Structure 1
């Protein structure tokens, strides 16, 4: 609220002209008193209208009534107290841009500016009105309409993101339900059928009943294996998901993030999961410990003498972390190095005055078309 008040209140700088006019004491005492009362009422209604309407839209009748009051007060004070009060029309124009629909606001701004110009020709020199007040009135009013459009677009975008996230969560729940149904539906039905069959055989055919019980045990064990495999698949970290998560987390922390949008399709599952864990840990460290303002993530293929590698590089411009020149037990880097070793990858870190850089490389297995054919002797 305070930030919004400061942003709206910056326009009050134009009030210097009518305040100076009242402080010059060249008006009669009754006119000066009425001028102060009118100025106080105008500012109060202006702030209440703009601040209240931008936070929670007022009823149309209330908006039109308050705008009419501001316009009437601007006309009255300008005609009675002189040209210094024409600046009130700038506030009327800004109020119209902040509260009225776009099409109506455009006409209201033009009419308010035209009315100010007409009155200005009667109370002062027209050469002082056009450059000094007409341009601010037009710019202020139309700038407010642009700000309103930007705010409305931001709100709609935020709502759309929330809707997409909700739909994605619902789709994931449906997928999990389908998978669990496919995994367990047949197994549980078979277990139920064999249990009933074993129960009927048990009094007269205990040997056959024992075989049915053995089958039930085998089916149950296989169902447990399938469920564990499915859950492991749900929990596996993927590189595209971690890239999106890193971008969101860095932006939420106020760190400007340059993060690629995709990952290579040919990357094996084990190598992809390791790089995903590396990226998650690196992004978390940037947010928690770096104090950085900018973070760059790159994902590129490198050709070396040892073969092709996929290189993940995370660089931030924050202050160096103590002890981060090499992996140190307890800070998460050792665990990442161990994960990379399992897929023949390497982890490198570099700390300096320019920031901190973490680099992870995993080998890329050549496809069938890349394996050279060895001819016979």
Structure 2
């Protein structure tokens, strides 16, 4: 579905094309106006009654479209909504009483409008009230049994269905706002963490550099040797501060297993591959976690780009071996398979895993004739 054409649920149309699309969907439901239109076209009423009928029908449709379409874009004031619904019910009542029972269809639109614009607590009262008014007017006609069953159920179902859709839209908006709030809070927390880390890393070092610079400046005229010692200390502190900053930046850029699992889930879904991905990752030492995270990223990239697979299973399994506990990462797909050739990707991955004392195995899929399975094991050590 093209976002340029269709506005998302709970979002007002941002372009003319989206507005036209929403208006088209509203116009489609006007097809049920066929009964009143046919009644006017048959010519069974007087000329004056027909003219007033057309005027009333056009007015009803105009008020209905303004209410539903405008309220979809930007909620109207509650008083305006109540007044507009009263106009719709009044027009439906007058037209049904003067022109015949086929005009009871207008009450269905009044019920749908109530469901689309009123809060659920009010809609659950107003929709049955409109239906009851329609039934009472229908009972005054000659053959109420012919028309009432055809309009009572649509009035109730249509009204409450629109109330459900409205509630779903409100929930969607609330979830979208909550997601944006959570993202903003996470970004703020990350900024605070970065600020704290920079202060802890550089605050003491910069204060020491400033102090020793002032001391060196005072010693320069009379004590050049001691001033030189202070300058040497400044150089040492500066180098250590640079090392600390580099280590901190490396830590920020280090991939994590939870982040890579979430990225794998998104990448596989975007590629149309059915995925089984663990929801949580066990606790692993930093170096081993970084190696596993890079392995998972490399494996998922290969599945998406080269495997032509329709299904991929990712597993993280703690195991006990003779050499101690290990965490085993398995990425298995049902794609084209083939013999494992250690190109640049697998070679670099193997070297990275070897550095942390782990192993890499790659081979054909275990559960299907084709497919490919990558198994990476890293020692857990004491962190488990």
TM-score by length of 1: 0.81
Structure 1 residue corresponding to 2:173, chosen from 146, 150, 155: 155
State the match for 2:291 in structure 1: 274
State the match for 2:232 in structure 1: 214
| Distance apart, 1:86 and its partner CA | 0.8
Contact kept, 8 Å, 2:333 with 2:371, in 1: the verdict is: yes
State the match for 1:346 in structure 2: 360
Q: Report SS of the residue matched to 2:140.
A: helix
Once structures 1 and 2 are overlaid, which stretch shifts more, 111-120 or 4-13? 4-13
| Distance apart, 1:159 and its partner CA | 0.9
1:137 aligns with 2:137: no
State the match for 1:180 in structure 2: 198
- Name structure 1 gaps, 5 residues minimum: 370-377
| Distance apart, 1:246 and its partner CA | 4.0
| Distance apart, 1:359 and its partner CA | 3.3
Q: Report SS of the residue matched to 2:331.
A: strand
Structure 2 residue corresponding to 1:300, chosen from 317, 325, 334: 317
Contact kept, 8 Å, 1:340 with 1:347, in 2: the verdict is: no
| Distance apart, 1:190 and its partner CA | 1.2
Q: Give distance in 2, aligned partners of 1:113 and 1:138.
A: 7
Structure 1 residue corresponding to 2:376, chosen from 346, 349, 361: 361
Contact kept, 8 Å, 1:117 with 1:129, in 2: the verdict is: no
Contact kept, 8 Å, 1:282 with 1:358, in 2: the verdict is: no
**1:262-288 Cα deviation digits (max 9, x unpaired):** 1011x2322321332344455567778
Residues 112/368 of structure 1: CA separation in 2 closer, same or farther (3 Å cut):
closer
Structure 2 residue corresponding to 1:59, chosen from 77, 95, 99: 77
| Distance apart, 1:60 and its partner CA | 2.5
State the match for 1:375 in structure 2: none
Residues 129/250 of structure 1: CA separation in 2 closer, same or farther (3 Å cut):
farther
Q: Give distance in 2, aligned partners of 1:42 and 1:287.
A: 55
State the match for 1:234 in structure 2: 252
| Distance apart, 1:252 and its partner CA | 7.3
State the match for 1:372 in structure 2: none
**1:30-81 Cα deviation digits (max 9, x unpaired):** 4334333333332232222112102101122322232122111211221122
Count of residues paired in the alignment: 363
State the match for 2:11 in structure 1: none
Q: Give distance in 2, aligned partners of 1:253 and 1:8.
A: 34
State the match for 1:171 in structure 2: 189
| Distance apart, 1:293 and its partner CA | 8.3
Q: Report SS of the residue matched to 1:346.
A: strand
| Distance apart, 1:234 and its partner CA | 1.0
| Distance apart, 1:170 and its partner CA | 1.0
State the match for 2:99 in structure 1: 81
- Name structure 2 gaps, 5 residues minimum: 1-17
Q: Report SS of the residue matched to 1:233.
A: helix
Q: Report SS of the residue matched to 1:299.
A: strand
Q: Give distance in 2, aligned partners of 1:6 and 1:165.
A: 35
Contact kept, 8 Å, 2:299 with 2:331, in 1: the verdict is: no
1:114 aligns with 2:132: yes
Q: Give distance in 1, aligned partners of 2:310 and 2:142.
A: 52
Structure 1 residue corresponding to 2:242, chosen from 224, 241, 247: 224
Residues 187/358 of structure 1: CA separation in 2 closer, same or farther (3 Å cut):
same
Q: Give distance in 1, aligned partners of 2:340 and 2:252.
A: 33
Q: Report SS of the residue matched to 2:193.
A: helix
